[in-house]
Chain A
Amino acid sequence: KQEVTQIPAALSVPEGENLVLNCSFTDSAIYNLQWFRQDPGKGLTSLLLIQSSQREQTSGRLNASLDKSSGRSTLYIAASQPGDSATYLCAVMGVLYGNNRLAFGKGNQVVVIP
């Protein structure tokens, strides 16, 4: 079974600092890895999707890297803003869990302090 871990569960950073969020997964036979954002009381919004053949994806201030061999992905958010406060979830689609299904981590709850 694919296990997805995100540590720490919660963190606070001052505005303007770069945010670094880590995701680890146990099985490297993956099809893709996705990062989502969740605001309180809302659904999940897709931020970035990295396919297994890719090493990174970028969108604006967001950059996500993927290292399949070590079972890790990192989400970088440059020059954080209070509006970046949210929970960020990592999810993996892989062979072990079924090729149409995502296994989710529990998320990193981020607070950006003005």
Chain B
Amino acid sequence: NAGVTQTPKFRILKIGQSMTLQCTQDMNHNYMYWYRQDPGMGLKLIYYSVGAGITDKGEVPNGYNVSRSTTEDFPLRLELAAPSQTSVYFCASSYADRGRPLHFGNGTRLTVT
């Protein structure tokens, strides 16, 4: 049981480049989330999805896009990378049940220079 898998683990981007952070889960979870974690700032929600074809903005969506074409996959797209997007990105998923916890991937460490 792989859980939540994120790729790549590390990436360095130049300003203005684009990339997609991949996230896939094999637990048949309805809900999926993207967070960013900056030192001393806690986790901030970027986007989330309650099911295939449904996405919604979180606290800090600017500069990012998402899609959810399948239950398993929830990629995060950075179109024009900026230094402010240097962060660690975490994908998470859960069942559509408030009594069930979130499961996290191991993160993608992104540096924009």
Which residues of A in the span 78-114 have a Cβ within 8 Å of any Cβ on B? 89, 91, 93, 99-102, 104-107
Task: Determine the chain B residues whose CB is within 8 A of the CB of A49 once the complex forms.
Answer: 99-101
Structural contact, A46 and B48, CB atoms closer than 8 A: no
Classify chain B's interface size.
20 to 34
The interface of chain B, by Cβ under 8 A from chain A, is: 4, 31, 33, 35, 40-43, 45, 48, 50, 58, 90, 92, 98-107
Structural contact, A43 and B90, CB atoms closer than 8 A: yes
Compute the total of residue contacts between A and B using a CB distance below 8 Å. 54
Task: Determine the chain B residues whose CB is within 8 A of the CB of A101 once the complex forms.
Answer: 33, 45, 48, 58
The interface of chain A, by Cβ under 8 A from chain B, is: 9, 31-32, 34, 36, 41-46, 49, 51, 89, 91, 93, 99-102, 104-107
Question: By CB atoms of chain A within 10 A, which of B40, B58, B101 has the most?
Answer: B101
Task: Determine the chain B residues whose CB is within 8 A of the CB of A36 once the complex forms.
Answer: 102, 104
Structural contact, B99 and A104, CB atoms closer than 8 A: no
Structural contact, A42 and B107, CB atoms closer than 8 A: yes
Structural contact, B58 and A45, CB atoms closer than 8 A: no
Q: Given contacts A100-B50, A106-B40, A106-B41, is CB(A42)–CB(B98) below 8 Å?
A: no
Task: Determine the chain B residues whose CB is within 8 A of the CB of A32 once the complex forms.
Answer: 98-99
**CB nearest to B9 among chain A residues:** A41
8 closest Cβ pairs, A-B complex: A43-B104, A46-B101, A106-B42, A104-B43, A44-B104, A31-B98, A43-B106, A49-B101
Structural contact, A102 and B102, CB atoms closer than 8 A: yes
Task: Determine the chain A residues whose CB is within 8 A of the CB of B106 once the complex forms.
Answer: 41-43
From the candidates B98, B99, B105, name the one contacting A99 in the complex (CB within 8 A). B98
Structural contact, B42 and A34, CB atoms closer than 8 A: no
Task: Determine the chain A residues whose CB is within 8 A of the CB of B101 once the complex forms.
Answer: 34, 46, 49
